[in-house]
Chain A
Amino acid sequence: MEDFSISREGKTFGIPLPFDSKSVSYVWFDALLNYVTVCQQDGFWTEDTEKVHVLGKDISRFHAIYWPAMLESAGLPTPDKEIVTGFFTVDGQKMSKSLGNVVNPVEVVEKYGRDALVFYLLYDIPIGTDGDFSWERFHNSYDAILCNSWGNLVNRVVTLCKKNDVTSGIIGS
């Protein structure tokens, strides 16, 4: 791998470099450092902690090549794992404002709850490849799996247990 420049000359917006007054820091150089500066404050970036990055595939080059190189040059522990997610289409089409098919996660969470959205995304869209967000499959996972299957099981078991004073579960019968 060739060296890469960590400075940008002639830019007015950026972190000034102490060794070069005409340049500022390359944005990916100072942005990536946030992982260490923030995580170290909370004790999360040490040799003993598992460091996992979850990122989109469009920024994998910076996380999988530049970032480990920066850390190794500073003698800091590198991430243990990079989980790279793909891009989404919606019902087979590119997500775009003009098509009016943008899925707003905040609105979905407000309407169906956080669990419903997280479950669907992780259940239906494999990590590591591009995926298609389908409203039909979203509703299916919400109704069939979370409500009818899991919710119904919990509801029936808890109701019957309460009614019959069963308070502790045991293994096997």
Chain B
Amino acid sequence: MNYLSQAQLKLYLDNWYKTVQKANEYMQTEQPWTKLKDETKREEGIRDLQFLLWVVKQLAVLSAPILTEGFVKMQRIFGNEDIAALQSSIVSYTSRPSSSK
């Protein structure tokens, strides 16, 4: 978050993207969809998914200052309607023509 406060946005997004890549690598390595088909590994597959879901939620929060529209969509997918509505109101506030503020 230090990058954000120092307006080092490229470095901030570089690190965000590296984490996205790591999450994709984890998914590809662990292949939870394969484990879920095997009763002996199903529990492990569920744990992988829980971990990946946690990572995706964190990445979504970290993307919020930049990917504002995507963040709102994701919060709706996660059922966080209140957060989506709040972010949506912030986006529409900052998008208003200055004369109407």
Tell me if A55 is interfacial: C-beta within 8 Å of chain B.
no
Contact of B53 with A154 in the complex, beta carbons under 8 Å: no
| With known contacts A169-B56, A169-B57, A160–B67 Cβ distance under 8 A | no
Contact of B20 with A164 in the complex, beta carbons under 8 Å: no
A to B contact number (C-beta, < 8 Å): 102
Docked Cα-Cα span, A161 to B17, in Å, equals 22
| With known contacts A81-B7, A153-B20, A166–B66 Cβ distance under 8 A | no
Contact of B66 with A169 in the complex, beta carbons under 8 Å: no
Q: What residues of chain B lie closer than 8 Å to A169, measured between beta carbons?
A: 50-57
**Closest chain B residue to A151 by CB distance?**
B70
| With known contacts A38-B101, A166-B50, A157–B69 Cβ distance under 8 A | no
Which secondary structure dominates where chain B touches chain A? helix
**Closest chain A residue to B23 by CB distance?**
A153
A interface footprint on B8-19 (CB within 8 Å = 1, 0 otherwise) = 111001100100
| With known contacts A114-B68, A160-B49, A145–B17 Cβ distance under 8 A | yes
Interface residues on B, range: 35 or more
Tell me if A158 is interfacial: C-beta within 8 Å of chain B.
yes
Tell me if A142 is interfacial: C-beta within 8 Å of chain B.
no
Q: What residues of chain B lie closer than 8 Å to A81, measured between beta carbons?
A: 7
Q: What residues of chain A lie closer than 8 Å to B20, measured between beta carbons?
A: 145, 149-150, 153
Q: What residues of chain A lie closer than 8 Å to B54, measured between beta carbons?
A: 169-171
Contact of A158 with B7 in the complex, beta carbons under 8 Å: no
State which residues 60-94 of B face A: CB under 8 Å: 60, 63, 66-70, 74, 77
State which residues 74-126 of A face B: CB under 8 Å: 81, 83, 113-115, 118-119, 122-126
**20 more CB-based (< 8 A) A-B contacts, given A157-B49, A169-B53:** A41-B101, A115-B67, A115-B68, A115-B69, A123-B10, A123-B17, A124-B10, A127-B8, A146-B67, A150-B17, A150-B59, A157-B53, A161-B49, A166-B50, A169-B57, A170-B47, A170-B51, A170-B54, A171-B51, A172-B51
A-B contact pairs, 10 of them (CB 8 A): A115-B68, A119-B66, A123-B13, A153-B20, A157-B53, A160-B49, A168-B50, A169-B50, A171-B51, A172-B51
A interface residues, Cβ below 8 angstroms from B:
38, 41-42, 52, 81, 83, 113-115, 118-119, 122-127, 145-146, 149-150, 152-154, 156-158, 160-161, 164, 166, 168-173
